[in-house]
Structure 1
């Protein structure tokens, strides 16, 4: 009788394991196992764990897993099933904790366990620790484990480690190649992404094409992008929606908007991603009004916007200074339930600020319950845009009190505000704390703010010394800030030296010539000022109206 019942349960499992997501069906199978006193069978226990997980019943899965009566049934398959489900549902900490618990109970991971736990490794240190265990247990030659390591190192912005894993793999499949190409593309190693695409030793798929087209788009490599398009046609992959979207994106970003539009029109079932790519393409080609119109056509086609659609449409409205358009999109955001989304809320703050509505921007900011650094930065930038430097500092201090860690952009706004309000010592204090307190390595934009701050305060010798002591090569924005200070305070000696540098770095920037000419004129050296303007003419440089470093 027990054998017949077991056969019946096995039949139920075989008919349901692959397709069921019906919790009622699963609980019936579970009841049959308990009723027939079969809970001691490991493979039935593993089946149940898998079925509850597939139904999204993680709490029930954990309850079953924690049942002490059947704890002896927990083998590597059981643990791996549970880790997989937590990893897939992005519960990374829980997945890693389970992995550690499994090892503590003496159960050794297999290649499937490693493939399951790797997606939960959000930090480089976790990936390195898992890689050490992979080597220890002898799974370093497994192609899927290797591909998982490459993928996670890429997501942790550690492409050096990813490339090393790839190079040491005895066998590579398409997943391995795709993981490497995707990693290079997302980490802005566009040339390497394109080079590796050319070296793929297996037939590429949609992921390969979409990733390399993204690299072409972001690096402006139109010629190679067109070649990839041709290869895609040859492989019969250009009818895929994701490849078509990537092609539209590539042609748009490479300035071939006519071809992008032609491709866009051939896509029959345009989803939200397709529309987003098109709106973004219009935005990047400075077709702001058309971008707004495209957004509304998308809505009329019955396609629901996502955070990318709404943020892009808001940027287009901001660029037009079209407050009425922005307000309409604000209504769409409320209706769509995206008002609590950080990216959308920050884009909304920016739109109101750029359209002159700082009060409206502040109202949006105040209505956000859980403000991320993106929202704080948007509001800080809005105050900076309107020249309220003191408010920038106040907001920044409030943000710090609330335990929000600033990012690079936040600190650019704050340092700039310190410069415009003459709060030099405060600005230097913030700059000094960037690395040791917030873990942010200063970039050219931060150095330019410090030089501008010192220059505005008339501390030109100090500003020059700061530039000369920079750990990286000063770019035109840094030297330009110093030249602007020389014009403001009439320092001919430093101004002349800096201008000569800038003439070599950006010979067609009219602003540099005008600043030096103004310094000469201030000293009554009108012939010298005339010579600088004559030099502009000889170099074919035309004065750009409205240019100012002040």
Structure 2
């Protein structure tokens, strides 16, 4: 129940033959890890000697991670004779929890095998560090192949959780919406008793990315009615839904509400989404003005959207000006803008 009782139990075990039982010692490592005593966990681990297994190593790393001992976790990982996906995910979590997102990304890229936990760990890290474009990119880049196999693994893991905690529910939601299984996602979403910001954002982004844009906007309205305060990620999903539906008045209104009412500072991705929306519906001058006056260097995607709209609506002059002006951030060696310009 607490660390002192655990130590007393451990002291009693040491006086019996059970002290050599590897399974029991693994339980002790886990117990010390849960109660924030990685030094005791390491002491038990060291005494296992040749009886250590990959399970023992994973428990030790988890104990270090739980106590924010990132360097110790990484050092244990490097000493392991072999790794499994649990080992990789534990160290990945250590890096993201300590704010070392670039190191986490390097580790993620070197992983021989990734699970849904690996992907959601990175998505959460990028979200919390306000790297919105990376979070969105990871959300949509989760493997599309073998969808059924991925979902089966997620559901099995989810069913093993004795009680639906928020983390397991949200991880399963991500897997469902990423694979396009919106019906299953909505059933699970309805079962979550106290949905948090992440739950709502996952559903809004998932619906917006799976051609259920109006449902995304409905969820956004429900979210506000429940008093959940949205963030930058949520608003990306909302603006994306408006963009795909061509709802210019709603898109502009949501953008204004985000800034004026919700106090959210827009990022370049929000401006780019609004530029794309204005350009798509033919309001090229307004889109151009926003592209020119946004407090960021426009990203290439927004500039390409602008050029594509100029081609569609036959405004060669504005397209040529956008492509030639350095302030729009078009990369000189990026071929897409010039291909669009040449086709006008």
TM-score tier by shorter-chain length is 0.5 to 0.7
TM normalised by structure 2 equals 0.63
Task: Find the counterpart in structure 2 of residue 235 from structure 1.
Answer: none
Which of residues 239, 259, 276 in structure 2 aligns to 1:415? 239
Task: Find the counterpart in structure 2 of residue 187 from structure 1.
Answer: none
Residue 399 (structure 1) shift: 1.0
CA displacement, residues 474-505 of structure 1 (integer Å, 9 cap, x when unaligned)? 33343233223223322211111222247964
In structure 2, do the counterparts of structure 1 residues 278 and 450 end up closer, same or farther at CA, with 3 Å as the change threshold?
closer
TM normalised by structure 1 equals 0.41
CA displacement, residues 14-37 of structure 1 (integer Å, 9 cap, x when unaligned)? xxxxx9779xxxxxxxxxxxxxxx
Task: Find the counterpart in structure 2 of residue 476 from structure 1.
Answer: 300
Unmatched segments (≥5 aa) in structure 2 = 7-68, 94-103, 124-137
Task: Find the counterpart in structure 2 of residue 277 from structure 1.
Answer: 91
Between structure 1 and structure 2, the one with the greater Rg is 1
Alignment of 1:214-363 (within 5 A): 242-243=70-71, 245-246=73-74, 264=77, 266-267=79-80, 275-277=89-91, 284-285=108-109, 290-292=113-115, 311-312=120-121, 318-321=142-145, 322-337=147-162, 339-341=164-166, 343-363=167-187
Task: Find the counterpart in structure 2 of residue 425 from structure 1.
Answer: 249
SS at match of 2:195: coil
Number of residue pairs matched by the alignment? 254
Residue 336 (structure 1) shift: 2.5
Alignment of 1:120-159 (within 5 A): none
SS at match of 2:230: coil
In structure 2, do the counterparts of structure 1 residues 509 and 276 end up closer, same or farther at CA, with 3 Å as the change threshold?
farther
**In 2, distance between residues paired with 1:325 and 1:440?**
35
Q: Is the 8 A contact 1:311 1:347 kept in 2?
A: yes
Alignment of 1:34-53 (within 5 A): none
In structure 2, do the counterparts of structure 1 residues 398 and 20 end up closer, same or farther at CA, with 3 Å as the change threshold?
closer
Task: Find the counterpart in structure 1 of residue 284 from structure 2.
Answer: 460
In structure 2, do the counterparts of structure 1 residues 361 and 517 end up closer, same or farther at CA, with 3 Å as the change threshold?
farther
Residue 401 (structure 1) shift: 1.1
In structure 2, do the counterparts of structure 1 residues 267 and 479 end up closer, same or farther at CA, with 3 Å as the change threshold?
same
Task: Find the counterpart in structure 2 of residue 146 from structure 1.
Answer: none
Q: Is the 8 A contact 2:248 2:277 kept in 1?
A: yes
**In 1, distance between residues paired with 2:277 and 2:236?**
12
Q: Is the 8 A contact 1:419 1:450 kept in 2?
A: yes
Unmatched segments (≥5 aa) in structure 1 = 1-18, 23-240, 248-262, 296-307, 520-550
CA displacement, residues 295-316 of structure 1 (integer Å, 9 cap, x when unaligned)? 9xxxxxxxxxxxx569459989
**In 2, distance between residues paired with 1:463 and 1:335?**
50
